[in-house]
């Protein structure tokens, strides 16, 4: 039996890559410095994989793996035709003076974002394989056995946008380019290179395929003929349909996720018959609890009943990209809770132990083994995770419907607020300045007193409010300077949450998040946002929006305990948020935004599981917001633009206003709201905040006009497409000014 993983977190134990990238982007360091840092990170990450049968190559990336593949294939958007090398690469990722960045979207149901490749029939596909070959050679030189991680062709194609050309033709063209890439790799690195083709798209079933399944079969057979040892992996769900097809090909192995796709067990007979190597994902690559090794043994036993040990490799369920580096650097966490955790380095140790135990029996690794068993038991029985009161409140069934209809509510709200047509607002956060970050850090570490800290935050809020008044926004925000992160901030004030100091996970590019860890029952201990919202409101006659993160998002962006259904955990959070909404409205905050940025990413990948999720997620949002009085306006914000398949659910959330992310293509994307006769108010983002570019008045006017072609003006709000915290004030100020100006000009001609 062998052991391996599907990828290692690349950002670095101390987020070294993040800082190196940001300094390179800011022209504060050279390309050589960036490259040498990258090389030393790879070396360190392979060292952490030294007990595995392979180390992963090309899981490393300067920004994103899908982008890496696009770049390697020579995908080059027309607007960047004059750019080359890393300048082109980062232009696609982050935008450039020559044009806007490629879109970014979530990687299946994770919080990782990839850069969406733009496919154009006129593209030349001039290959760049240097990224890959360089890493490969480095690993060889260090004495490792490399396994190249590459996004599979089908996944790549289906995640891309076709910007020009007919789908079938582009498909053929990219396929040719992809095969040429494999040729180039083989001729650069030699025959028999091991490539793991990640094809998570197969975990959605095969209905999406625009080709015959024989095309799929032929494609992988062609690859194999080129001389690569091909492993095709799927993850996040079962992929039984694809396994049927792939097992009839000449590929070397098939990788399957037996945790999030337990139905893959049904494919064991097919796999056994095919004689293929099986890469069995049995250690959770998406969550951070130590494994219950007895359960793992039982699972392995099920697999080895059919698959001989010499054909079996034990792996993580997916790339470890989705969990932090190591818990070794955690020094402040409750030591008992810490003992229940397992990050990337620890997951690899679990694989190693399992492998050893399977080889030489438990008795030879008794101490280590029993350690795991004990930890699992103490966790299960610990008083730290159970709170009777919370359980009782959550278990009592509760109605989750606001008792006045939207039609009536909006009338009432409009009478009180008296907002103009096309009211302007923002999504909540303003730039996080160095000063604010330092203040939070210093306050946490006790370097500054609460008085000083409060004063710094208040000063920020004051400036922020003043600026918004100056430029004439209609509904103001306090700017969220007290929040490092929209989930962490709430988690820190709720019971049942614990925080790592260093548990960073890449979200996109150099952006990382530190997901809270929900280990026990959740309850609100005290008001969480009232102080800041009330202060901000005291500074202005305009309406100040209260800002909360919704229960589903708090859940979806946390590492959630695995001993309770997610729906139950979510319900506990919802009740905490409801208490906060109640306090806010009692404190005269009239508009409250409950962000559900991650509502959609919690959707199951397989259709058959969607209804159950929608039911409880919707219920929890409504349970949180039903406490709002009819005259309290509930906003929600969602960080995406494709609503076609979830529009009914969005409607049923019953928020008075929803702001969404449709900076590009808004017209087309909004049609769905028109089609279903969506009657509530909508703020489709009028410019993209993910890029440093400043949108012009004309550009924003065009956006607004496009929106007004689809939606009645009475329903429309004007706002950027997400929070502004990652931007600089120099970008935000002119952008928002232009937004307000554009709105004014549009209003004049309405």
CA dihedral sign of residues 474, 475, 481, 485:
negative
| Least distance in angstroms from the C-beta of 335 to ligand GLN | 33
- Return the closest-CA partner of residue 232 out of 214, 216, 211: 216
- What torsion, rounded to 10 degrees, do the Cα atoms 370, 373, 374, 377 define? -170
| Least distance in angstroms from the C-beta of 526 to ligand GLN | 21
Q: Which is nearer to ligand GLN, 318 or 592 (CB)?
A: 592
Binding residue count for ligand GLN, defined by CB under 6 A: 13
511 annotated to a ligand binding site? yes
Alpha carbons 364 and 390: distance in angstroms, whole number: 44
Using the rule CB under 5 A, is 52 a contact of Zn ion?
no
Candidates 176-184, 476-484, 632-640, 695-703: pick the segment binding Zn ion (CB under 5 A): 632-640
364 annotated to a ligand binding site? no
Instruction: Look up residue 229 and give its two tokens.
Output: 């040892």
Candidates 56-64, 417-425, 427-435, 681-689: pick the segment binding ligand GLN (CB under 6 A): 427-435
Which secondary structure element, helix H or strand E, spans residue 476, and what is its range? Answer: strand 475-476
Alpha carbons 718 and 707: distance in angstroms, whole number: 10
Window 522-551: residues binding ligand GLN (CB under 6 A) = 547
Task: Print the SS3 string covering 214-259.
Answer: HHHHHHHHHHHHCCCEEEEECCCCCCHHHHHHHCCCCCCEEEEECC
Candidates 163-171, 365-373, 426-434, 730-738: pick the segment binding ligand GLN (CB under 6 A): 426-434
427 annotated to a ligand binding site? yes
| Least distance in angstroms from the C-beta of 395 to ligand GLN | 30
Mark whether 365 is an active-site residue.
Answer: no
Q: Which is nearer to ligand GLN, 231 or 513 (CB)?
A: 513
- What torsion, rounded to 10 degrees, do the Cα atoms 467, 470, 475, 478 define? 20
Residues whose CB is less than 8 angstroms from the CB of residue 255 and which lie 6 or more positions away in sequence, other chains included: 6, 196, 231, 232, 233, 234, 235, 278, 279, 280, 281, 315
Window 704-723: residues binding ligand GLN (CB under 6 A) = 722-723
Binding string, residues 603-642; x marks residues near ligand GLN by CB under 6 A = ----------------------------------x-x---
Residues whose CB is less than 8 angstroms from the CB of residue 737 and which lie 6 or more positions away in sequence, other chains included: 471
Q: Which is nearer to ligand GLN, 583 or 596 (CB)?
A: 596
Using the rule CB under 6 A, is 427 a contact of ligand GLN?
yes
Using the rule CB under 6 A, is 597 a contact of ligand GLN?
yes
Alpha carbons 593 and 585: distance in angstroms, whole number: 12
690 binds, among ligand GLN, Zn ion, none (CB under 5 to 8 A by kind): none
Q: Which is nearer to ligand GLN, 651 or 661 (CB)?
A: 661
175 annotated to a ligand binding site? no
- H-assigned helices in 499-646: 530-538, 551-556, 566-586, 610-625
User: Is the distance from CB of 635 to CB of 658 less than 8 angstroms?
Assistant: yes
Candidates 47-55, 298-306, 662-670, 714-722: pick the segment binding Zn ion (CB under 5 A): 714-722
Residue 262: other Cβ atoms inside 10 A: 12
Window 590-609: residues binding Zn ion (CB under 5 A) = 597
Q: CA-CA distances (angstroms) from residue 416 to 242, 306, 419, 590, 659?
A: 57, 69, 9, 9, 21
Instruction: Look up residue 611 and give its two tokens.
Output: 């209804």
Q: For residue 81, which phi and psi values (nearest 5 degrees)?
A: -60, -25
What does the DSSP assignment read for 400-469?
---SS-HHHHHHHHHHHH-PPSS-B---SB----HHHHHHHHHHHTTSS-HHHHHHHHHHHHHHHHHHHH
Q: Which is nearer to ligand GLN, 431 or 576 (CB)?
A: 431
Residues whose CB is less than 8 angstroms from the CB of residue 165 and which lie 6 or more positions away in sequence, other chains included: 119, 120, 121, 122, 173
Residue selected from 457, 725, 732, 738 as contacting ligand GLN according to rule CB under 6 A: 725
Residue selected from 116, 448, 465, 486 as contacting ligand GLN according to rule CB under 6 A: 486
Using the rule CB under 6 A, is 554 a contact of ligand GLN?
no
- Count H helices, E strands: the chain? 27, 23
| Least distance in angstroms from the C-beta of 723 to ligand GLN | 2
Residue selected from 315, 429, 632, 636 as contacting ligand GLN according to rule CB under 6 A: 429
438 annotated to a ligand binding site? no
What is the distance, to the nearest Å, from the Cα of residue 463 to the centroid of all Cα atoms in its chain? 32
Q: What residue number has its CB nearest to ligand GLN?
A: 723
User: Is the distance from CB of 585 to CB of 628 less than 8 angstroms?
Assistant: yes
Using the rule CB under 6 A, is 659 a contact of ligand GLN?
no
Residue 523: other Cβ atoms inside 10 A: 18
Using the rule CB under 5 A, is 639 a contact of Zn ion?
yes
Marked catalytic residue, from 96, 113, 238, 690: 690
Binding string, residues 719-748; x marks residues near Zn ion by CB under 5 A = ---x--------------------------
| Least distance in angstroms from the C-beta of 487 to ligand GLN | 10
| Least distance in angstroms from the C-beta of 542 to ligand GLN | 18
First CA to last CA distance, the chain: 71
Which residues are at the interface with ligand GLN (CB under 6 A)?
Answer: 427-429, 480, 486, 547, 595, 597, 637, 639, 722-723, 725
Residues comprising the binding site for L-methionine?
427-429, 480, 595
Which residues are at the interface with Zn ion (CB under 5 A)?
Answer: 597, 639, 722
Residues comprising the binding site?
18, 111, 427-429, 480, 511-512, 557, 595, 637, 639, 661, 722
Residues comprising the binding site for 5-methyltetrahydropteroyltri-L-glutamate?
18, 111, 511-512, 557
Residues comprising the binding site for L-homocysteine?
427-429, 595
Q: Which residues are catalytic?
A: 690
């Amino acid at each position: 039996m062998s052991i391996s993983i599907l990828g290692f977190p690349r950002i670095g134990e101390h987020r070294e890559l993040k800082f190196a990238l940001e300094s390179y982007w800011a022209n504060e360091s050279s390309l050589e410095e960036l490259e040498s840092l990258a090389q030393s990170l790879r070396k360190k990450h392979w060292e952490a994989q030294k007990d595995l049968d392979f180390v992963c190559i090309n899981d490393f990336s300067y920004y994103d793996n899908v982008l890496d593949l696009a770049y390697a294939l020579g995908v080059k958007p027309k607007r960047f035709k004059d750019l080359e090398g890393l300048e082109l690469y980062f232009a696609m990722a982050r935008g450039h003076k020559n044009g806007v960045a490629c879109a970014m979207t979530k990687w299946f149901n994770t919080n990782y974002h990839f850069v969406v490749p733009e496919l154009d029939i006129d593209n030349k596909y001039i290959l760049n394989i240097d990224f890959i070959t360089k890493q490969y050679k480095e690993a060889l030189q260090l004495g490792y056995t490399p396994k190249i991680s590459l996004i599979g062709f089908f996944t790549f194609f289906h995640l891309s946008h076709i910007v020009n050309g007919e789908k079938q033709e582009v498909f053929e063209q990219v396929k040719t380019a992809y095969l040429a890439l494999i040729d180039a790799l083989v001729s650069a690195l030699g025959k028999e290179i091991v490539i793991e083709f990640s094809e998570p798209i197969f975990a959605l079933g095969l209905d999406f395929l625009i080709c015959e399944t024989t095309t799929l079969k032929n494609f992988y057979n062609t690859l194999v003929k080129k001389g690569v040892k091909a492993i095709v992996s799927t993850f996040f769900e079962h992929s039984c349909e694809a396994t049927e097809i792939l097992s009839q090909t000449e590929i070397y192995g098939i990788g399957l996720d037996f945790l999030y796709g337990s139905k893959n067990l049904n494919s064991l007979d097919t796999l056994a018959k095919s004689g293929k190597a099986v890469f069995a994902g049995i250690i959770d690559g998406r969550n951070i609890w130590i494994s219950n090794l007895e359960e793992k043994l039982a699972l392995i036993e099920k697999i080895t009943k059919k698959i001989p040990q010499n054909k079996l490799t034990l792996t993580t369920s997916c790339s470890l990209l989705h969990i932090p580096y190591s818990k070794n650097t955690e020094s402040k966490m409750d030591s008992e809770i810490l003992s229940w955790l397992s990050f990337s380095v620890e997951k690899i140790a679990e694989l190693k132990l399992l492998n050893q135990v399977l080889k030489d029996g438990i008795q030879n690794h008794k101490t280590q083994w029993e350690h795991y068993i004990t930890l699992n038991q103490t966790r299960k029985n610990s008083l730290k995770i159970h709170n009777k009161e919370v359980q009782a409140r959550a278990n009592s069934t509760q109605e989750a419907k606001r008792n006045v209809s939207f039609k009536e509510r909006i009338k009432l709200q409009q009478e009180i607020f008296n907002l103009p047509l096309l009211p302007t607002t923002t999504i909540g956060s303003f730039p996080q300045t160095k000063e604010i970050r330092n203040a939070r850090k210093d306050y946490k570490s006790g370097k500054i007193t609460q008085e000083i800290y409060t004063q710094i935050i208040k000063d920020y809020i004051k400036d922020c409010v003043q600026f918004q008044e100056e430029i004439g926004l209609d509904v103001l925000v306090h700017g969220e300077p007290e929040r490092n992160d929209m989930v962490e901030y709430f988690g820190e004030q709720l019971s049942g949450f614990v925080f790592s100091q260093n548990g960073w996970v890449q979200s996109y590019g150099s952006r990382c998040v530190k997901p809270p860890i929900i280990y026990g029952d959740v309850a609100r201990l005290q008001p969480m946002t009232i102080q800041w919202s009330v202060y901000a409101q005291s500074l202005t006659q305009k309406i100040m929006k209260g800002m909360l993160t919704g229960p589903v998002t708090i859940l979806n962006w946390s590492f959630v305990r695995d001993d309770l259904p997610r729906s139950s955990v979510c319900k506990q959070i919802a009740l905490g948020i409801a208490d906060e909404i109640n306090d806010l409205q009692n404190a005269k905050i009239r508009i409250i935004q409950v962000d559900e940025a991650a509502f959609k990413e919690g959707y199951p990948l397989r259709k058959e599981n969607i209804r159950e999720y929608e039911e409880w997620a919707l219920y929890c949002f409504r349970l949180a917001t039903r406490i709002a009085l009819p005259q309290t306006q509930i906003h929600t914000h969602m960080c995406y633009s494709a609503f076609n398949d979830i529009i009914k659910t969005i409607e049923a959330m019953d928020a008075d206003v929803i702001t969404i992310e449709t900076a590009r293509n808004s017209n087309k994307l909004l049609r769905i709201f028109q089609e279903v006769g969506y009657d509530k108010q909508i703020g489709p983002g009028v410019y993209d905040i993910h890029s440093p570019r400043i949108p012009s008045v004309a550009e924003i006017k065009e956006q607004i006009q496009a929106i007004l072609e689809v939606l009645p003006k009475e329903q429309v709000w004007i706002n950027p497409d997400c929070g502004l915290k990652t931007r600089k004030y120099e970008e935000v100020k002119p952008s928002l000014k232009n937004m307000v100006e554009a709105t004014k000009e549009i209003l004049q001609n309405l």
